Amino acid sequence: MDTLILLEMINQKLIKSLEQMINEASFDETLFPVQRGNTIEIKNYRIYAFKNKYVIKSIDTKERIAETFCKASALAIAKNLARDKRFNITQVMYLDNKIEKHFFDSLFYKNSIDKTKDSFKRDIIETRLDIAIYETAQAKNDLDRFIFQS
Protein backbone atom coordinates (compact mmCIF):
# COMPACT_ATOMS: atom_id res chain seq x y z
CA MET A 1 0.00 0.00 0.00
CA ASP A 2 2.86 2.38 0.77
CA THR A 3 4.32 1.88 -2.71
CA LEU A 4 1.03 2.97 -4.31
CA ILE A 5 1.06 6.19 -2.28
CA LEU A 6 4.70 6.77 -3.20
CA LEU A 7 3.98 6.18 -6.91
CA GLU A 8 1.02 8.57 -6.77
CA MET A 9 3.21 11.27 -5.21
CA ILE A 10 5.88 10.74 -7.89
CA ASN A 11 3.25 10.94 -10.63
CA GLN A 12 1.89 14.19 -9.22
CA LYS A 13 5.38 15.69 -9.09
CA LEU A 14 6.04 14.61 -12.68
CA ILE A 15 2.76 16.11 -13.85
CA LYS A 16 3.50 19.41 -12.11
CA SER A 17 7.04 19.61 -13.51
CA LEU A 18 5.78 18.79 -17.01
CA GLU A 19 3.09 21.49 -16.78
CA GLN A 20 5.72 23.97 -15.62
CA MET A 21 8.03 23.07 -18.53
CA ILE A 22 5.22 23.52 -21.05
CA ASN A 23 4.09 26.84 -19.58
CA GLU A 24 7.61 28.28 -19.43
CA ALA A 25 8.82 27.05 -22.81
CA SER A 26 8.74 29.29 -25.84
CA PHE A 27 7.86 27.30 -28.93
CA ASP A 28 8.37 28.24 -32.53
CA GLU A 29 4.88 28.80 -33.97
CA THR A 30 5.92 27.24 -37.27
CA LEU A 31 6.45 23.86 -35.59
CA PHE A 32 2.76 23.39 -34.86
CA PRO A 33 0.31 23.69 -37.75
CA VAL A 34 -3.31 24.00 -36.64
CA GLN A 35 -6.02 22.29 -38.66
CA ARG A 36 -9.61 23.53 -38.59
CA GLY A 37 -11.89 21.75 -41.02
CA ASN A 38 -10.30 21.90 -44.47
CA THR A 39 -7.97 24.77 -43.47
CA ILE A 40 -4.47 24.54 -41.99
CA GLU A 41 -2.87 27.54 -40.28
CA ILE A 42 0.87 28.00 -39.84
CA LYS A 43 1.72 31.29 -38.19
CA ASN A 44 0.59 33.98 -40.69
CA TYR A 45 -0.35 31.60 -43.51
CA ARG A 46 -3.43 29.53 -44.31
CA ILE A 47 -3.67 26.48 -46.50
CA TYR A 48 -7.08 25.85 -48.03
CA ALA A 49 -7.90 22.37 -49.33
CA PHE A 50 -9.99 22.19 -52.47
CA LYS A 51 -10.98 19.21 -54.60
CA ASN A 52 -7.69 18.72 -56.46
CA LYS A 53 -5.41 21.42 -55.05
CA TYR A 54 -4.18 23.33 -52.02
CA VAL A 55 -4.05 27.13 -51.95
CA ILE A 56 -1.64 29.01 -49.65
CA LYS A 57 -2.68 32.52 -48.63
CA SER A 58 -1.10 35.12 -46.39
CA ILE A 59 -3.34 36.08 -43.45
CA ASP A 60 -1.73 39.51 -43.23
CA THR A 61 -1.94 40.61 -46.87
CA LYS A 62 -4.75 38.27 -48.05
CA GLU A 63 -2.42 37.54 -50.99
CA ARG A 64 -2.54 34.17 -52.74
CA ILE A 65 1.00 32.80 -52.47
CA ALA A 66 0.77 29.55 -54.41
CA GLU A 67 -1.45 26.71 -55.56
CA THR A 68 -0.13 23.17 -55.16
CA PHE A 69 -1.14 19.65 -56.08
CA CYS A 70 -0.21 17.94 -52.82
CA LYS A 71 -0.55 18.87 -49.16
CA ALA A 72 3.14 18.28 -48.42
CA SER A 73 4.10 21.01 -50.91
CA ALA A 74 1.64 23.45 -49.38
CA LEU A 75 2.97 22.68 -45.88
CA ALA A 76 6.57 23.10 -47.04
CA ILE A 77 5.83 26.50 -48.58
CA ALA A 78 3.78 27.82 -45.65
CA LYS A 79 6.20 26.57 -43.02
CA ASN A 80 9.27 28.00 -44.73
CA LEU A 81 7.57 31.34 -45.47
CA ALA A 82 6.53 31.53 -41.81
CA ARG A 83 10.20 31.13 -40.86
CA ASP A 84 11.59 33.44 -43.54
CA LYS A 85 9.39 35.71 -45.69
CA ARG A 86 12.13 35.80 -48.35
CA PHE A 87 11.92 32.02 -48.92
CA ASN A 88 12.00 31.17 -52.63
CA ILE A 89 9.20 28.69 -53.42
CA THR A 90 10.42 27.67 -56.90
CA GLN A 91 12.18 24.50 -55.75
CA VAL A 92 9.12 23.34 -53.80
CA MET A 93 6.89 24.10 -56.79
CA TYR A 94 9.25 22.09 -59.02
CA LEU A 95 8.92 19.11 -56.67
CA ASP A 96 5.14 19.56 -56.53
CA ASN A 97 4.91 19.54 -60.35
CA LYS A 98 7.11 16.45 -60.43
CA ILE A 99 4.84 14.64 -57.96
CA GLU A 100 1.75 15.64 -59.95
CA LYS A 101 3.25 14.43 -63.25
CA HIS A 102 4.36 11.07 -61.89
CA PHE A 103 1.09 10.58 -59.99
CA PHE A 104 -0.94 10.93 -63.18
CA ASP A 105 1.60 8.82 -65.08
CA SER A 106 1.05 6.09 -62.47
CA LEU A 107 -2.71 6.23 -62.97
CA PHE A 108 -2.25 5.96 -66.74
CA TYR A 109 0.18 3.04 -66.43
CA LYS A 110 -2.08 1.16 -63.99
CA ASN A 111 -5.00 1.55 -66.40
CA SER A 112 -2.85 0.45 -69.32
CA ILE A 113 -1.70 -2.65 -67.44
CA ASP A 114 -5.34 -3.59 -66.78
CA LYS A 115 -6.36 -3.07 -70.42
CA THR A 116 -3.44 -4.59 -72.34
CA LYS A 117 -3.36 -8.22 -73.45
CA ASP A 118 0.19 -8.15 -74.79
CA SER A 119 2.63 -9.49 -72.15
CA PHE A 120 5.65 -7.69 -73.68
CA LYS A 121 3.80 -4.38 -73.58
CA ARG A 122 2.64 -5.12 -70.01
CA ASP A 123 6.25 -5.67 -68.89
CA ILE A 124 7.33 -2.34 -70.37
CA ILE A 125 4.39 -0.53 -68.75
CA GLU A 126 5.12 -2.17 -65.37
CA THR A 127 8.70 -0.90 -65.59
CA ARG A 128 7.45 2.60 -66.36
CA LEU A 129 5.01 2.34 -63.43
CA ASP A 130 7.85 1.36 -61.09
CA ILE A 131 9.87 4.37 -62.28
CA ALA A 132 6.92 6.73 -61.77
CA ILE A 133 6.32 5.38 -58.24
CA TYR A 134 10.02 5.73 -57.42
CA GLU A 135 10.19 9.30 -58.75
CA THR A 136 7.09 10.26 -56.77
CA ALA A 137 8.59 8.85 -53.56
CA GLN A 138 11.90 10.66 -54.18
CA ALA A 139 10.17 14.01 -54.70
CA LYS A 140 8.06 13.43 -51.56
CA ASN A 141 11.23 12.72 -49.55
CA ASP A 142 12.75 15.97 -50.84
CA LEU A 143 9.60 17.83 -49.78
CA ASP A 144 9.83 16.25 -46.33
CA ARG A 145 13.29 17.80 -45.95
CA PHE A 146 11.74 21.23 -46.55
CA ILE A 147 9.05 20.52 -43.94
CA PHE A 148 11.20 19.00 -41.21
CA GLN A 149 14.43 20.99 -41.55
CA SER A 150 15.39 22.97 -38.47
Q: What average pLDDT does range 107-121 have in this prediction?
A: 95
In angstroms, the CA 80 to CA 133 distance is: 27
Between 10 and 138, name the one with better pLDDT: 138
In angstroms, the CA 94 to CA 139 distance is: 9
Between 136 and 31, name the one with better pLDDT: 136
Residue 127: predicted pLDDT? 97
Residue 64: predicted pLDDT? 95
Q: Domain tally for the chain?
A: 1
Per the structure, the complete domain to which residue 32 belongs is given by: 2-148
In angstroms, the CA 145 to CA 75 distance is: 11
pTM for this structure?
Answer: 0.77
Residue 29: predicted pLDDT? 60
Distances (CA, A) of 129 to 23, 67, 102, 146: 50, 26, 9, 26
Q: pLDDT grade, residue 21 (50/70/90)? A: confident
Under 8 Å between Cβ of 41 and 82 = no
In angstroms, the CA 72 to CA 67 distance is: 12
